Chains A and B, each alone.
Chain A
Amino acid sequence: MNLRMVGCSHHQSNIAFRERLAFTPDQAANALSAWQQSHPGVEAVLLSTCNRTEFYAAAAGHSDAFTDNSLAEYLAGWHSIPLDEITQQLVSLDGQAVVEHLFRVAASLDSMVVGEPQILAQVKQAYELACELGSAGPHMHGCFQAALRVARRVTSETSLHRHRVSIPSVAIADFASRIFERFDDKRVLVIGAGEMADETLRYLRDAGAKRFTILNRDPGRAQALAAQWQAEAASWGDLHRQLVRADLVISTTAAGHPIVTLEYYRKQIADERNQRPLFILDLAMPRDFEPAIGEELGTYLYSIDDLAAACEQNRKSRQRELPRAERIIGEETSRFLTDARMQVSSPLITQLRAEWDVVKQAELARLLNKLGDLDQKSQEEITRFADRLVNKLLHPPLQSLRDEAENDSHTSLLDALRRLFQLRE
């Protein structure tokens, strides 16, 4: 099997470069369809996420139908970028390295945030798209199905995915979900419109939250973000009412001083809330809520520093899990390659057996003919002798072939067998 991958990821390329090579789902579908027409018989899968664009191709045997250069040219050509501009930042892999890399990508070991769960769904989508378009064949089926299985094994056998490391994900999954059983009936108030607020909103929506209110000093920005999230926009003067009715508050303003002081909270907000639980995520720097507010009954206030400690702890926990995950990748890569090599050698074994069988049958016929009238029992004994002889003679080379299936030298052994026994494909 000739397996190759050319692409870029967050390891070598900055976001500007990755944006130039990125494919939307429609573009990916068109690119794969065009590849099929221009390279019949060469399977292809295109994985494009915000952190990577990777083009996988495979063909039976040692095909010259595609090379690293032709794959790179195809990527560059599709985006109308001169090849010289991108070759320096492209990575190319082949054979075993591709399999190992794909397994690591699917298991989220190659992700920017190791253990993030989205990549598995993205790998699956890329593979399903290739299946729909018919650009994935037996080799890609084998590789990608194994990659999805390996990712699930890493998830179930390690606690890598349990430890979240981004501030918003820790805030929602590790803290807010311990306060609230469900989010679909909760009111979320976003004060300010920072990037972190945007990311937190995404996590909240994934968790089931539906009722968002965006409040900003600039009403235009509040309305723009509200439109993006199908939320309500509120004016700054409405802060008091919104704080009273909210269940979760995400604050990301650029104010130089706290916008909610302890005195204000105690006198204006706490009484009207009647100790209804309030989760406050203060992502602003300097902070928007005075820290002492977190001491109030029913109020759970978290700042970046509070969550950074949890993130760091999670990061360390993940580090401890990494060797186990890498060991699984190693085992699965080795198993996959052994199976693949055995599949390659099985036609040769069949052919070898068939040819020896022809010789055996011819010699048996000659011998039985020469011996004349033999009883049934003697004939069967001679036939069994011939079978045993052939099997015993074939056993050592076939065993060597099986043993070598675990090594790279398997191909040369296959070639040697072909030449020794004059087998033709």
Chain B
Amino acid sequence: MGNVSVLCFAASYTVALVLEIAGLWVRFGWHRLAMVVMAVAGLVAHSAYLVYHSVGSVAFLRTPELWYLVVAWVLAAFYLWVVFTSPKTAMGLFVLPLVLITIALAETASTEPFAQQRASQFWGALHGSLMTLSTVTVSVGFIAGLMYLIQSWRLKHKVPPSPEFQLPSLEWLERTNSRALSFSVVLVCGGFISGIVLSRLQHSGDSSYQLFGDPVVISLLLMLVWLIVAEVFRMIYPSARRGRKVAYLTLASFGFLALTLITFTMNDVHGRPREASAAQSQDPSAHFAPPSVASSESAADELHLVGRHKAEVLS
């Protein structure tokens, strides 16, 4: 399992996506089989990679990289479920690009652990899991919304169905859209609250720490507010429960998710103590080390420098 790299499953998913795209024009007898085999191979390699890199770790979702890879895994599993339950649907054209983007984000994300003390393991795991699931539900809602708009456009323009590009019915997409939005509200809300609890446990007594100084927290709060507003809007305005409006709401939700993920990816210091973050930002060599180790190494470096300075003075 140690030999499995990100490239292995990313390549499998890429081949599956290429086959999906090629299927729009030409299909061979083995086309679907090859697509399924590639996707299954990708998911198996993906699972092996996650298992190998999680064995013996304190927390399953312990680094931003792994967190992204778990999101990609759930989306890939969702794709395979659709492939087996609705084989004629062109779901891969929508889900696989998202899987590959998430893997690409994982590659750019930090491999350093989130700050986690043993006392907050439960809240850390809960926070990570809820954020993973909410990312998946918002993404599924986004895919369903996009498919709804395409299907609706095709129906309005009287485009006959094509065996190469079949989409689910508007009714199914609308239902999936609505449910994804509702689940997202609950999951993001849970993720945000568990994040606050986690932060309180980690930074109790630390007067210098400011929760809302973290850009990831601010963007997540914005997404939560948007989701609550969208859900309330849907509840009080009947037209917003239907068709294109709910599709637009889920597309906008994905916009907020993208904003949150960008700040999350750009910001290595999410959830860490301020001093560790400050030390990392000052010392690039310590940037990719675990916080506790980074802090001790920074201190050691300081001692070493002081020692060397002293030696120079003496000489």
Contact = CB atoms under 8 A, between A and B. Distances in A.
B243 A174 contact: no
B158 A309 contact: yes
A194 interface: no
Interface residues of A, number: 27
A274 B241 CA distance: 9
Contacts, number: 60
A174 B244 contact: no
A302 B244 CA distance: 20
Contact of A275 (B158, B161, B171, B242): B242
A265 interface: no
Contacts of B185: none
B1 to A, nearest CB: 41
B8 interface: no
Q: Which of B168, B172, B242, B244 is packed against the most chain A CB atoms within 10 Å?
A: B242
Interface in B261-298: none
Contacts of A277: 170-171, 242-243
Interface in A159-177: 159, 162, 170, 174-175, 177
A258 B163 CA distance: 35
A297 B161 CA distance: 21
Nearest to A317: B160
Interface size, B (range): 20 to 34
A367 B92 CA distance: 79
A181 B238 contact: no
A275 B170 contact: no
A170 B160 CA distance: 9
A181 B245 contact: no
B26 to A, nearest CB: 14
A367 B160 CA distance: 82
A274 B238 CA distance: 6
A178 interface: yes
Given A174-B161, A178-B151, A306-B158, A275 B169 contact: no
A214 to B, nearest CB: 24
B242 A274 contact: yes
B117 interface: no
A74 interface: no
Contacts of B151: 178
Given A178-B155, A181-B171, A275-B244, 11 more contacts: A175-B155, A175-B158, A178-B161, A180-B169, A180-B171, A182-B171, A275-B243, A275-B245, A295-B156, A300-B156, A309-B160
Interface of A: 159, 162, 170, 174-175, 177-182, 274-277, 294-295, 297-298, 300, 302, 306-307, 309-310, 313-314
A-B CB proximity, top 5 nearest: A310-B160, A274-B238, A181-B171, A181-B169, A275-B239
